[in-house]
Structure 1
Amino acid sequence: MRGNAIVPCKAVHGPVSREVRNRRLATSTKSKSFCSEDRKVWEPARHLCLLLLLLVSVMASACGLYDRDEYKAIVMVGKRSLTAEQLKREMRRLVADQEIVSEDKAQLRRTLVERIVDHLLVLEYGREKGITVSQEEIDSVVREIRQDYEQADFQEILIKRCISLEEWKEGLRDQLLTRKIIESVLQSVPPPTTQEIRAYFDIHSQEFKNPPMVKVRQVVTRTKREAQGLLRRLSEGERMEELALHHSIAPDGKMKGEIGWIRQGEMEEEVEKIIFSLPVGRLSSIVETSYGFHIFQVVSKRAEGVHFLPEVASEIERKLFSQRWEEFFSEWLKKIRDVFPVSINQDLLEKLEWA
């Protein structure tokens, strides 16, 4: 399990220079045997060191250092176990990553522990089946992810999450392994048939109603004066595509201002009223929003209607497949609990302070 250190720690004694190593080596090999005077000093010191070690061990045992709750196994799944400290880290990570919220702390704790147990069951199954993730697979995914970030941005994300690069890679390995195991389990789930897809469409046809839609192009400027100048040029016959490409500050300017198809209800109410009232090809007046000053042009329109089955067959297939996976996976988890015993120390769990 991952810790929360920001950077990896060096060993207590750390690396030493070659000069220091050589000096230590020279000192330790100066003589093959102790002279009598050396022995007189060394022997009492050696016994004293052994005595101190023995006392530390006895005191640790007497004070319960090795019996403290945070070092005891609180969750055991097959051959895997989590101490209280490890469980707390996993619960906090789940809440942070998945934004799980509940006012009932006891219920939230039960939900988190169940999810962690399910995860450990998956890993245990993978271990038994010999499913692994190679270093090459991890390095490939790391390269893909890091291509999307500047080095400084990537380091900032790690610091905000209070983890080191190695801890992040270990978490990535865990995710890749979990996905690989689940994919191997779900391979046996058959896809929905054509008859099942058609039956779903017949029963749920209202889900596939198509609201009114417009295909829109726009040009956006920082100032109203710029927008007025572009609107004048458009009215004189210049093309919206060219002006958007060279003058629009919106990201869609690179695509000649084309926003694409917009469903009714997706945009700000004032903007929506304007673009849905425009005839195809007509230019809007200048519209001010928090993003700048817009000029819109409707390229095409679609009336409200219902999709035909061929248009939505792939969507229905994905939906049915997803439902089937979830049902299969839920039943599979119940079955492997009989294969890998699950044990939770409820007394320690009740006392666990993690939030």
Structure 2
Amino acid sequence: MSSIWNARILAIFSILMLCSCCLTKGSQRVLVRSKSWIITVDEFKNRLEEELSIIKGGDTDSFLKERKRQILEEIIEEKILLEEAKGLGITDGEGEEEFLRQIKEQYGEEFERHFPPSSDQLKRLKALAKRKAIIDKTVERLTANITPTESEIVEYYEKNKGEFVRPERVKLWQIVVRDKNRAKEIWRLLKKGEDFSHLARLYSAGPEGKQGGYMGFFSRGELPKELDEVAFKLPPGKISDVITSAYGYHILYVEKREPKGVVPLEEARHTIMKRLLEEKREIFITNWIKEKKDSLQVKIVEEEWERLLEDS
């Protein structure tokens, strides 16, 4: 639910950018009733108008009707979650400022142009960010006790091993310098038995020098061509000759080589847990919202809804 909500928020932000005056004034005809809240026809029309302003190539009658159904469902879900937030005493969330910062970075100078300080548009965006934070926190609270079991993790791994196939890779160390003569001198010291990590810390110009030259694991094609060709030919435990590239003069050391194969369960565990947790949360929230609709007696006013569906 949280990931879906994040996607909706980004879409709505684009809407705000494009619809500075899209809120309509009109009647308060009710489209959806519940024990706690209502959704008006105008509220629905505003959301629909906003979304259609950024949707291209989806103007067929069947598409429009389906999108209307989705929008109404989204509004209902948001109403239910915000109502639950009140019951849980959640009045703010986390990540509100981070969300605004990401939006500012994404849109750069356009942000200031569309959202001047103290403008109604900026106030609407901040309110949107606050609602997002509250909904995220509410979903987290509702799903706090959900976690994949060990048997579920193992079962997923066994059924989906194809997702965890890792290509051949090498565990690589590097010393890189700007001067060719310095590179040759370092190479001679290595041949005499000097410690690779020690020399990397002393001389390497790369950021990995501080870690003794350790670069990590690499698969074919992830390194510059000159280094890639050497790294996958070099026997484990050996150092390369001096290699010239656009970045300088390199000496590589391959600690070990791992053949193509399936990633062990322990290495895949974090990815599997994250995936299963998201799936379980989605299922839980979907069922929870369905139950809340029943308990809140959420009812669509069919006459208004049919009229909205037929409107082009």
Q: 1:105, CA displacement in angstroms? A: 3.6
2:215 maps to which residue?
Answer: 259
1:182 maps to which residue?
Answer: 139
Q: 1:159, CA displacement in angstroms? A: 2.5
1:41 maps to which residue?
Answer: none
**243, 252, 264: which one aligns with 1:285:** 243
For the Cα contact (< 8 Å) 1:133–1:176, is it kept in 2?
no
2:78 maps to which residue?
Answer: 123
Task: Show structure 1 runs of 5+ residues with no match.
Answer: 9-67, 96-100
Q: 1:125, CA displacement in angstroms? A: 1.6
**224, 242, 245: which one aligns with 2:202:** 242
Distance in 1 between the 2:287 and 2:256 partners? 47
What amino acid is the match of 1:84?
A: K
Residue 228 of structure 2 corresponds to residue 272 of structure 1 = yes
Distance in 2 between the 1:127 and 1:231 partners? 63
Distance change >3 Å, CA 208–CA 5, structure 1 → 2 = closer
Q: 1:123, CA displacement in angstroms? A: 2.6
Percent identity, please: 19
**81, 87, 103: which one aligns with 2:48:** 87
Distance in 1 between the 2:213 and 2:128 partners? 41
Task: Show structure 2 runs of 5+ residues with no match.
Answer: 1-11, 191-198
What amino acid is the match of 2:168?
A: P
Distance in 1 between the 2:137 and 2:72 partners? 18
What is the DSSP-based 3-state SS (H/G/I as helix, E as strand, rest coil) of the residue aligned with 2:243?
coil
Q: 1:218, CA displacement in angstroms? A: 4.3
Distance change >3 Å, CA 351–CA 294, structure 1 → 2 = farther
1:199 maps to which residue?
Answer: 155
Distance in 2 between the 1:141 and 1:258 partners? 38
Distance in 1 between the 2:281 and 2:173 partners? 40
1:321 maps to which residue?
Answer: 277
CA RMSD of aligned residues (A): 4.5
Q: 1:83, CA displacement in angstroms? A: 5.1
Distance in 2 between the 1:201 and 1:120 partners? 37
- 1:69-110 Cα distance to aligned partner (Å, 9 max, x none): 874679945523425344333555xx6xxxxx8744446655
Distance change >3 Å, CA 153–CA 337, structure 1 → 2 = closer
**TM-score (normalizing by structure 1):** 0.56
Distance in 2 between the 1:175 and 1:316 partners? 26
Q: 1:345, CA displacement in angstroms? A: 4.5
What is the DSSP-based 3-state SS (H/G/I as helix, E as strand, rest coil) of the residue aligned with 2:189?
coil
What amino acid is the match of 2:183?
A: L
What is the DSSP-based 3-state SS (H/G/I as helix, E as strand, rest coil) of the residue aligned with 2:124?
helix
For the Cα contact (< 8 Å) 1:146–1:154, is it kept in 2?
no
- 1:275-318 Cα distance to aligned partner (Å, 9 max, x none): 22223442351133xxx446252342232244443443443333
For the Cα contact (< 8 Å) 2:30–2:38, is it kept in 1?
no
Distance change >3 Å, CA 174–CA 206, structure 1 → 2 = same
1:51 maps to which residue?
Answer: none
2:183 maps to which residue?
Answer: 231
Distance in 1 between the 2:25 and 2:223 partners? 52
- 1:154-180 Cα distance to aligned partner (Å, 9 max, x none): 973622665754333222102111212
For the Cα contact (< 8 Å) 1:282–1:297, is it kept in 2?
yes
Distance change >3 Å, CA 212–CA 310, structure 1 → 2 = same
Distance in 1 between the 2:255 and 2:90 partners? 49
Distance change >3 Å, CA 167–CA 341, structure 1 → 2 = same
What amino acid is the match of 1:121?
A: I
**TM-score (normalizing by structure 2):** 0.63
